[in-house]
Amino acid sequence: MSSNVKRLNEYWTDIYFHMHYPHKEKISHQVIRILQLVEKKEEVGVNEVATYLQISHNTASEHVKRMVEKNLLFKERDLLDERRVLLHLTQPGKEVLHRNTSLDEEKLEQVMNQLADKERAVVEQAFKLLSEQAKTCL
Exposure string for 53-68, b = 16+ CB within 10 A, e = fewer: beeeeeebeebbeebb
Name residues contacting DNA, limited to 70-89 (CB under 7 A).
75, 78, 80-85
- Expressed in angstroms, the distance from the first to the final Cα of the chain is 21
Q: Per CB under 8 A, which region of 18-26, 62-70, 71-79, 87-95 contacts a copy of itself?
A: 18-26
Residue 87 DSSP one-character state: E
Q: Which is nearer to DNA, 55 or 103 (CB)?
A: 55
How far does CA 49 lie from the centroid of its chain? 14
Annotate each residue in 26-65 with x if it binds DNA (CB under 7 A) or - if it does not, as one string. Answer: x-xxxx-------------xxxx----x-xxxxx-xxxxx
Residue 21 in contact with a copy of itself, rule: CB under 8 A: no
Alpha helices of the chain — where are they, by DSSP H?
A: 2-19, 29-40, 46-53, 57-69, 91-101, 105-114, 117-134
- Interface contacts to a copy of itself, rule CB under 8 A: 1-2, 4-19, 22-24, 26-30, 32-33, 36, 39-40, 52-54, 98, 100-103, 105, 107-112, 114-115, 119, 122-131, 133-137
